[in-house]
Structure 1
Amino acid sequence: MRSTFMGLEIARRGMFTQQSALYTTGHNIANANTPGYSRQRVNFEQTEPYPAASLNRPQIPGQMGTGVKAGSVQRIRDSFLDLQYRNESNKLGYWQTRSDAVAKMEDIMNEPSAYGLNTAMTKFWEALQDLSVNPENEGARAAVRQRGIAVAESFNYLHKSLEQIRTDLGQEIKTGLLDVNSILKQISELNDQIKAIEPHGYLPNDLYDKRDLLVDELSQFFHVKVETVRSGGNALDIAEGIYEISLINEDGSLTKIVTKDGYSNFSVDPSVSGDPTNPDGYVSSLKIDGTSITISPDKIANGRIKSLIESYGYGTDSNNITGFYPDMLANLDKMAYTFLKLFNEQHKLGYGLNGNQGVFFEDLSNVKGAAAAIKVDNRIMQNLDNIAASSALDANGKGESGNGKNALALTSVKDITITNGQANIPGVGPISVPITGGTVQTFYQGLIGQLGVEGQEAERMKFNTETLALSVEERRQSVSSVSLDEEMTNMIKFQHAYNAAARSLTAVDEMLDKIINGMGRVGL
C-alpha cells in the first residue's frame, strides 16, 4: 500500500531539484565572463517508481512515479572541439612567434629605405666616383672617408642589433620553459584534487575548466596529446578522470610530461657558457627532469618553444649553428669580409697623394664577427692623403696628379663577379672569399629578398592559423559559453517549476488536513 504522505515527498523532491537547477543557473550567470568557464546543467532523473517488481507487490493498475532528482551537475563541453582548438593553437603559437622574430629583423635591416646598409654603400660608391674626377680635392677625400665610416658603422649596427634581439630570444626560451613548468605543476595539482573528489561520486566541474584552460595554454608552447585515466572508486561514468599529457614529437613519438603520479620539468641545455643569452651560445638540447630524457631541437614538438629555438639557433658546436638569426649574422659576416677583402686588395694597387700604399679598412683574419669588427684603417683616419685614388706615381714618388683611375676601379668592386668562392681582380689574381657566387651587391639583395619572402610566409601563415583558431574557438564557445538570454529563460522555467511543485505541496497538505482533521466528525 502506498504511503499517505507520498504526494508530499514527490512535491518536496520537485522543489529541491528545481532549486538545484536555479542555483546552477545562478552559478552560470555569475561566471559568464570567467575565462575558460563552461556552462553547467543539472541532469534531471526520475526517482525509482512505486512499487518495485516483487511477488508481494500491491495490486494496483501500474507503477506510479515518485518524483525527480538531480542525478548530476555536468558541464557542457565538446572534447573534439577542444582537440581541434589545441591543434590550431599550437600552429598559431609557432607562426606568431616566427612572425614576430621576422618582423623584428625587418625593422633592423630597414630595407629598402633611405637609411639602410644599401643606401650607405651606394653613397660610398658615389663618393668614390666623385673622387675619381677630383683626386686632389680635400672635400672629395673627406667625403670618401666619411662614407666609408658610415658603411662600417652600418655593418656594426646591424650586427649589434641582431645580436641583441637574439639575446632577447634566448631569454624568451628560458621564460617560456618556466611558464611551461608552472603550467605542468598546476595541471598535476588539479589532477590530485580531481582524483580525491571523483571517487565520491561528484563531478568537480570548476576544476575541469581550470585544467582545460591550462592545457589550452600549454598547447601554444608544445604539440601535446591528452589521455584520460579513471579515478576509480565510485566515480560516475561521465567523470572525466585524470589527465596524462604527452609531447607529440616531430617524428611522431610521444614523451610523457604529466602522469597520474606527477609531472616533469623542462630545462634548456645551451652550450658554451650554459646560458642561452650568450652571443656565442646555442641550444643543443631540451632536457626533461635533468638528464633523464633529452630531446634534440629538430625533434621538438611544434609550437612556440620550437619557433624560439629555431630563431635563436641550435646545433652541436659553435661552428655548426643553425637558426634564423645566426644565419643572417653569418651572412652579414660573409658580406662584410668579402667587401673588405676585395676593396682592400684593389686599394692596395693604388697610391695616395703622399705615394703611400695600404688598406682602406683594417684587415681582418676571421670571417666570423667581420660585420661587428669592420672599421676604417687608422692611417686613413689620421691622413686623407693615404686614400689611394691614383693608379701611378709621378717623378717625385707621389700619387700622379689628376690620376683618379684607382678610385674609379674601387667603384667597380661592387660589380666583381664571384664564382665558386673565387673573385678575380686585375693585377692581383684570384682571391678566395666566403661568398660563393654573384657580387657583393647581389648577395645583399638576395639576403633582403629572402627576408621579405620569410616575412610574407610567416605573416600569411599567422593570419591563416589565427583565422582557423578563431573559427574553432567560436564553435567551441557556441557549445560551452554562457548565454545570458538562455540562462534567463532557464531561470524563469525553473522558477515556474518550483512554484508549481510548491503549489502541489500545498494541495496535498490541504488534502491531508481534510483527512486528518475533518474525518470522524460526522454529526458533531
Structure 2
Amino acid sequence: MRSTFMGLETARRGMFAQQTALYVTGNNISNANTDGYSRQRVNLTQTLTYPGVGMNRPQTPGQLGTGVVASSIQRIRDEFVDSRYRGENNKLGYYSTKADTLSRMEEILNEPTEEGLAASLSEFWNSLQILGSSPNESGARESVLAQANALADTFNYMSTSLETIMEDLKLSTKANVDTINSIATQINEINRQISEVEPHGDLPNNLYDERDKLVDELSALVNIKVTKEKTGGNASILAEGVYKIEILGSSGNSLGVLVDKNSLTTGPTQVSTSADYKSIIFGSSTVALNDFSMGELKANMEALTDKYPAMIENLDNMAYTLVKEFNKIHSDGDDLNGDQGSPFFNDLTTATGAAKSISVAITDPTKIAAAADGTSEGNGDNAYSLAGVMTKNLTDFTTSTIGTTGNFQSFYAGVIASLGVQTKESNVLTNNTLTLLDSVNTQRQSVSSVSLDEEMTDMIKFQHAYNASARMITMIDETLDKIVNGLGVGGR
C-alpha cells in the first residue's frame, strides 16, 4: 500500500529539480557575453517508479511515478562543428599572416611609384641619355652622379628594410613558438584538473570551456588534431575526458603528441625552431618546414626563409650585375680630361649583400667617361653605351648572376609582377577562408551561444513548474489536514 505522504516527496523533488534548472538558466543569462562560454542545460531524469518488481509488491493499477531529479548539468557543444572551425581558423592564420608579410614587402618596394627602384633606374638611364647628347655640360654630368647616388641609396634602403623586417619575423616566429608552448602548458594543467574532477562523477563545464578556448587559439598557430581520452573512475557518461592534441604534418600525418594523459605529470612536448628557421624541432624530432602543415608559425617561417631572402637575392643580383657591367663599359671610355674611365661604382667581389653595399665611386663629375675611347672629350658615345645597359639583353652581359633572358627593366618588372600575384592570391584566400570561418562560427554559435530569448522562455517555464510543484504540496497538505483533523469525528 502506498504511503499517504507519497505525493509530498514527489512534489518536493519537482521543486528542487526546477529550482536547479532556474539556477542554470540564471547562470546562462549572466554569461551571455562571456567569451568562450557554452550554454548549459539541466538533464532531468525520472526517479524510480513505485512499486518496484518483487513478490511482495502491493497490488496497484500500475506503477506510479515518484518525481524527477536533475541528473546532470551539461554544456551544449557540437564536436564536429568545433573541428571544422579549428580547421578553417588554421587556414586563416596561415593565409592572413602570409598576406601581411607580402604586403609589408610591397610597401618597401613601393611599386609602381616615383619613389620605387624602377623609377630610379629609369631616371638614371635618362640622365645618361642626356649626358650622351651634352657631354660637355656640367649640369648633365652632375645629374648623372646625383641619379647614380639616388639609385644606390634606393638599393641600400630596400635591402636594409627587408633585412629589418626579417629580424621582426624572427621575433614573430619566436613569439609564435612561445605562445604554442604556453598554451600547451595551460591545456595540460586544465587536463590535470579535469582528470581529478571527473572520476567523482562531476562535469567541470567551466574547465571544458576554458580548454576549448585555448585550443581555438592554438589552432591558428599550428594544425592540430584533438581526440578525447577517458579519465576512468566514476566518471559520467557525459564526461569529455582529457584532450589528446597532436600536431599534424602537410599530408595530415601526426608529427607527435603535444599533450595527452601521459603529459599530465611530465609536462607537454616543447616546440622550437632550428637556428636557420628552416625546420621545427618537436620534442626530440626535427621536422622540415615543407613537411609542416599550415598556421601562423609556418607562414612566418616561410617568409623568413624563402620570400624575403629571395627578394633580397634578386636585388643583390641586379646590383652586382649592374656594377660589373657598368664599370666595364665605363672603363672603355674617356672622361672629360681625356683619361681612361675609372670604376664608376665601387667594385663588388660577390653578389651576396650587393644591394646593401652598392655605392658610387666617382665624386668628380669630370671623371665620368662619357666619350668613346680615343675620341674627343666632346664625344658622348660611351654615355649612350652606358645607357644601353638598361635595354641590353642580360645574357649578353660580361658578368651576370641573374641568369635569365630579357633586360633589367623586364627582369625587375617580372619580380614585382610575381610578388603582386602572390599577394593577391593570399588576400583572396584570406577573404575566402574568413567567409567560411564566419559561416562555421555562425553554426557554432547557434548551438553553443546563449540566446536571451530562449533563456527567458525557459525561465518562465521552470518558474511555472516550480510554482506548480509548490502548489501541489499545498494541495496535499490540505488533503492531509482533512484526513488528520476531519476524519473520525462523527458522533462526537
What is the TM-score with the length of structure 2 in the denominator? 0.97
1:310 aligns with 2:302: yes
Corresponding residue for residue 346 of structure 1:
329
Aligned to 1:38: 38
User: 1:277: which partner in 2?
Assistant: none
1:279 paired residue number: none
Give the counterpart letter for 2:63 in structure 1.
Q
Structure 1 runs of 4+ aligned residues shifted over 6 Å read none
Task: Tell me if the contact between 1:152 and 1:374 (Cα under 8 Å) persists in the aligned partners.
Answer: yes
Match of 1:191 in 2: 191
| Equivalent residue for 1:299, pick from 291, 294, 319 | 291
Q: CA deviation at 1:221?
A: 0.8
- By how many angstroms is 1:210 displaced? 0.8
1:162 aligned residue: 162
Taking the TM superposition and a 5 Å limit, the aligned residue runs for 1:342-421 are 342-356=325-339, 357-377=341-361, 380-381=362-363, 383-393=364-374, 400-419=376-395
Rounded to whole Å, the distance in 1 between the matches of 2:210 and 2:72 is 20
The answer to whether the 8 Å contact 2:394/2:400 transfers is: no
Contact kept in structure 1, 2:76 and 2:448, CA below 8 Å = yes
Match of 1:215 in 2: 215
Q: Secondary structure at the match of 2:371?
A: coil
Give the aligned residue type for 1:384.
P
Aligned residues: 486
Task: Find the aligned partners of 1:432 and 1:452 in 2 and give their Cα distance.
Answer: 25
Other-structure match for 2:111: 111
Query: 1:432 offset after TM fit, Å?
Result: 4.5
**Residue deviations 1:119-155, cap 9 Å, x none?**
1111111111111111111111111000000000000
Quote the offset at 1:412 in angstroms.
0.6
Alignment CA distance shift 1:149-1:486 (3 Å) = same
Corresponding residue for 1:65?
65
Cα distance per residue 1:3-45 (max 9 Å; x no partner): 2211110110000000000000011011111111111100111
Structure 2 match to 1:285: 279
Shift of 1:372: 0.2
What whole-Å deviation, never above 9, does each CA across 1:327-353 have from its counterpart, x for those lacking one? 111111111111111111111111111
Contact 2:351 2:401 in 1 (8 A): no
Contact in 1 for aligned 2:334/2:377 (Cα 8 Å): no
Letter matched to residue 177 of structure 1: V
Aligned to 1:99: 99
Query: What do residues 51-99 of structure 1 show as CA deviations (whole Å, max 9, x unaligned)?
Result: 0111110001100000011111111110000011111011111001000
In the alignment, which residue of structure 2 is the partner of 1:275? none
Matches within 5 A, 1:116-515: 116-254=116-254, 255-262=256-263, 263-270=268-275, 282-289=276-283, 292-313=284-305, 323-356=306-339, 357-377=341-361, 380-381=362-363, 383-393=364-374, 400-419=376-395, 423-424=396-397, 430-515=398-483
RMSD between aligned residues: 1.2
| Whole-Å separation in 2 of the counterparts to 1:480 and 1:523 | 67
Residue 265 of structure 1: how far off its partner (Å)? 1.4
Distance 1:404 1:17 in 2: 101
Distance between the aligned counterparts of 1:294 and 1:393, measured in 2?
64
CA shift for structure 1 position 187: 0.7
State the shift of 1:355 in Å.
2.3
**Cα displacement (A) at 1:252:** 3.3
Q: Is the 8 A contact 2:221 2:295 kept in 1?
A: yes
Whole-Å separation in 2 of the counterparts to 1:478 and 1:206: 19
Secondary structure of the residue aligned to 2:372 is coil
Query: 1:94 and 1:413 mapped to 2: Cα distance?
Result: 41
CA contact (8 A) 1:392 1:403 kept: no
1:213-260 CA distances to partner (integer Å, 9 max, x unpaired)?
111111111111111111101111121111001011114321111111
Amino acid at match of 2:347: D
Q: How many Å apart are 1:261 and its aligned residue? A: 2.6
**Greater alpha carbon shift after TM alignment, 385-394 vs 131-140:** 385-394
CA distance in 2, matches of 1:521, 1:375: 122
Unmatched segments (≥5 aa) in structure 2? none
Q: Can you list the C-alpha shifts for 1:401-452, whole angstroms capped at 9, x where unaligned?
A: 3211111111110111123xxx24xxxxx44433332211111011000011
- The residue matched to 2:42 in structure 1 has which SS? strand
- Structure 1 residue runs of 5 or longer lacking an equivalent are 271-281, 314-322, 395-399, 425-429
Deviation at 1:480, TM superposition (A): 0.7
- The aligned counterpart of 1:278 is none
The SS at the match of 2:73 is: strand
- 1:472-512 deviation per Cα after TM superposition (whole angstroms, max 9, x unaligned): 00011011100001101111111111111100011111111
Q: CA deviation at 1:167?
A: 0.8
Structure 1 distance, partners of 2:434, 2:303, is 21
* Alpha-carbon shift at residue 305 of structure 1 (Å): 0.6
Aligned-pair identity in percent equals 50
Question: Is the contact between residue 200 and residue 234 of structure 1 (CA under 8 Å) also seen in structure 2?
Answer: yes
Cα offset for 1:203? Answer: 1.0
Q: Is the 8 A contact 1:18 1:497 kept in 2?
A: yes
